Amino acid sequence: MKRALVTGGQSGIGAACIERFKAEGIETISLDLHKDADLAVDVSDSAAVSKAIAAAGPIDILVNCAGVVGPTTPLWEIEAADWDKTFAVNVRGTFNTCHAVIPGMIERKWGRIVNISSVAGKEGNPNLSAYSASKAAVLGLTKSLGKELAQKGVVVNAITPGVIATPMNKDTSEQLLEYMISRIPMGRTGTAVEVAALIYWLSSDQCTFSTGSVFDISGGRTTY
């Protein structure tokens, strides 16, 4: 039986992913800030992540879902500490988990890593420069890592969701939500279950000739 680790697994896309993995017979461990997570750890804390993952045992599939939106103001109004916090979770968090699981994947000659970026990482959203830049960094990390592992049986891909109905968007104003939906050709938000279906395929034995790639799931908004 394969074993998966899903960060941010207590909510939204991560929770849907865990549900799908479990339905497919994959043993799944969640890593999240929430006390009910299997590993209640801050993903940005390198030492804590490395210790928790070492204790958890072999991981075949890693899904990096933990993420924060960060500051929602123009760049010149952002405090440096808030910029750093966004990068610490979204980028260093992804680095930390990859760093901890990859040696075991190489040893076993099999692994699947799925990093959750965002359409913001491709397009840049106004008043979300820290988030957009951090999600672009996740794309760069994925492309490099995919090449580093290309002949080791470990494939690494990223996905770029558009607006997905999850707790992350619970504070978004009706007006902003309407604007965001108006930019989606399908005219609706996506669901966490739809995103989990793509993550599941990228984590499976069916995904064999894609690595360092970016898969769009945005209702037609960012088809590049």
Give me the active site residues, please.
Answer: 131
For ligand NAP, the closer CB: 66 or 154: 66
Distance between CA 91 and CA 135 in Å, rounded?
Answer: 8
Distance between CA 148 and CA 156 in Å, rounded?
Answer: 10
Q: How far is the CB of 63 from ligand NAP (least distance, A)?
A: 10
Distance between CA 190 and CA 163 in Å, rounded?
Answer: 6
Distance between CA 158 and CA 113 in Å, rounded?
Answer: 8
Nearest CA-CA partner of 132 in 117, 113, 148? 117
| Residue carrying structure tokens 């890693």 | 62
The answer to whether residue 188 forms part of the interface with ligand NAP (CB under 6 A) is no
Pull the structure tokens for residue 170.
């619970």
The answer to whether residue 96 forms part of the interface with ligand NAP (CB under 6 A) is no
Q: How far is the CB of 159 from ligand NAP (least distance, A)?
A: 8
Q: How far is the CB of 66 from ligand NAP (least distance, A)?
A: 4
Q: How far is the CB of 189 from ligand NAP (least distance, A)?
A: 7
The answer to whether residue 116 forms part of the interface with ligand NAP (CB under 6 A) is yes
CB 65 within 8 A of CB 41: no
Draw the binding track, 44-83, toward ligand NAP (x: CB under 6 A; -: no contact).
x--------------------xxxx---------------
Q: How far is the CB of 134 from ligand NAP (least distance, A)?
A: 9
Draw the binding track, 14-33, toward ligand NAP (x: CB under 6 A; -: no contact).
x-----------------xx
Distance between CA 33 and CA 39 in Å, rounded?
Answer: 8
DSSP alpha helices (H): ranges in the chain? 12-23, 46-56, 80-87, 93-108, 119-123, 129-148, 174-182, 192-202
For ligand NAP, the closer CB: 19 or 106: 19
For ligand NAP, the closer CB: 107 or 178: 178
Who's near 152: CB < 8 A, 6+ residues apart?
Answer: 105, 106, 109, 111
For ligand NAP, the closer CB: 167 or 220: 167
The helix/strand/coil state of 102 is helix
| Residue carrying structure tokens 């045992």 | 57
For ligand NAP, the closer CB: 59 or 89: 89
In the complex, the residues that contact ligand NAP under the rule CB under 6 A are 7-8, 10-14, 32-34, 42-44, 65-68, 89, 116, 118, 161, 163-164, 166-169
